[in-house]
Amino acid sequence: MNGFLTHLLITLKLNMRNKVALAMGYLVPIFTLLTFAALYRTKPTLVREFGQILAICALGGACFGMPVALVSERERGVWRRYRLMPLSPLWLIASTMVARYLIVLSSGILPFFIAVYGYGMPLPENPLILFLGFSFATFAFLGLGLIIAALANTTAAVQGMGQVIFLPMIGIGGIGVSLKMLPAWAQYVATFLPGRYAIEAMNAGMRVLKEDKDGLQTQRLIFNFAALAVLGLASTLIGAKMFRWEGTQRLPKSAKWYVLAGIILWGCVGAAAISWKMARIYGLK
C-alpha cells in the first residue's frame, strides 16, 4: 500500500513537471470549452454540451496522456527496472490509473469554473450524478488507454492507436457530435462504444430529466452506469493481463482470448442497448 501511494504521488508530481503534459492536459479542455461555447449557443448555456467537454478531457487523458506516459517510461527502461522489485504489476497499474483519474478530474475543474463564471452555465442539478458519471466514464476510457499501452511498442504507435479510438468516439460515439444529430446507423454503432453512455450519464447530472410513468429515465441511468462499469472493467482486465514491462516482451499467448472476451462483452453491452426495451429507452429507430 505504501508503494501504491508513493508511486501515485510521484506520478502526479512528474505530470505536473512535464510542460507538454500540462499543456495537453489543461489547455486542451479549455480550448474545447471555448470551441463548444462558440459553436453551440443553446439555452441554458452549455448545459447540454458540458458532458461532451468533460468526456473529451477524459478521453484525451485516457487515449493519449496515460499510454504515452506509460510507453515512454517503458521505452526508457523504467519499467524494466521496476520489474526487479518485489511487487505485482497490478499495484503499479492501479496507482497509474488512479493518478491519471486525478489528473483528468483536475483538468475538468478549470473548464467548469470558466463555463459557470465566464459563460453563465447553470450549476449541475445533481452534482453527485455528474461526478459519478465523470468517474465511471474516465474509468471506462482509462481501460482502453491501458490496452493501447499494452499493444503499442513506441509513443508514436500510441499516437496512432489513440487516434483510432479517439476519432470514432468523437465522430460517431456521441462525444464530439450530439447523438441526436447523427444518422440512425451511427446511433446503433454508438451503442457499442462507451462514449454514448458517458455523455448520457454526465448529462443526467447536469440536467435531471423528469421521470415518466414507466421509470425509463432511471432505467436508462442505471444502464449507462452499468455499461460504463462493464466496459471499463473488461478493458482494464484485458489491459492488465496484456501488460508488458519491456517493449521487447511478447504479448502473452492468452492475449488474443482476452481481447476476444473483451470484444464479446462490448458486443453484449451494445446488443443489450439495441434490444427492444433499451431501444425504447434510447429512442433508437
Partner 1 sequence: MASKVVVTDLVKTYGSMQAVRGVSFEISDGEIFGLLGPNGAGKTSTLECVVGLRDPDGGRVEICGVDAIRQPKEVRQRIGAVLQHTALQDQITPREALQLFSSFYRRTAKIETLLERFQLNDKADVYFNTLSGGQRQRLAIALAVLNEPEFLLLDEPTAGLDPQSRRDLHSIIQQMRTEGRAVLLTTHYIEEAEQLCDRIAIIDHGKIITCGTPRELISRAQAMPRIVLHTAQPLDAGKLGRLCGVQGVEQASEGCVISTSKVSDSVIDLIKYLESDRNELLDLHIKKPSLEDVFIELTGRKLRD
Nearer to partner 1, 14 or 23 (CB): 14
Nearer to partner 1, 42 or 254 (CB): 254
- Least distance in Å: CB of 72 to partner 1? 9
Nearer to partner 1, 72 or 126 (CB): 72
Q: Which chain residues interact with partner 1 by CB under 8 A?
A: 2-3, 5-7, 10, 13-14, 17-18, 73, 76-78, 80-81, 83-87
3-state secondary structure labels for all residues of the chain: CHHHHHHHHHHHHHHHHCHHHHHHHHHHHHHHHHHHHHHCCCCCCCCCCHHHHHHHHHHHHHHHHHHHHHHHHHHHCHHHHHCCCCCCHHHHHHHHHHHHHHHHHHHHHHHHHHHHHHHCCCCCCCHHHHHHHHHHHHHHHHHHHHHHHHHCCCHHHHHHHHHHHHHHHHHHCCCCCCHHHCCHHHHHHHCCCHHHHHHHHHHHHHCCCCCCCCCHHHHHHHHHHHHHHHHHHHHHHHHHHCCCCCCCCCCCCCHHHHHHHHHHHHHHHHHHHHCHHHHHHHCCC
Nearer to partner 1, 77 or 120 (CB): 77
- Least distance in Å: CB of 84 to partner 1? 5
- Least distance in Å: CB of 220 to partner 1? 43
- Least distance in Å: CB of 258 to partner 1? 20
Nearer to partner 1, 9 or 264 (CB): 9
- Least distance in Å: CB of 82 to partner 1? 9
- Least distance in Å: CB of 248 to partner 1? 10
Nearer to partner 1, 90 or 260 (CB): 90
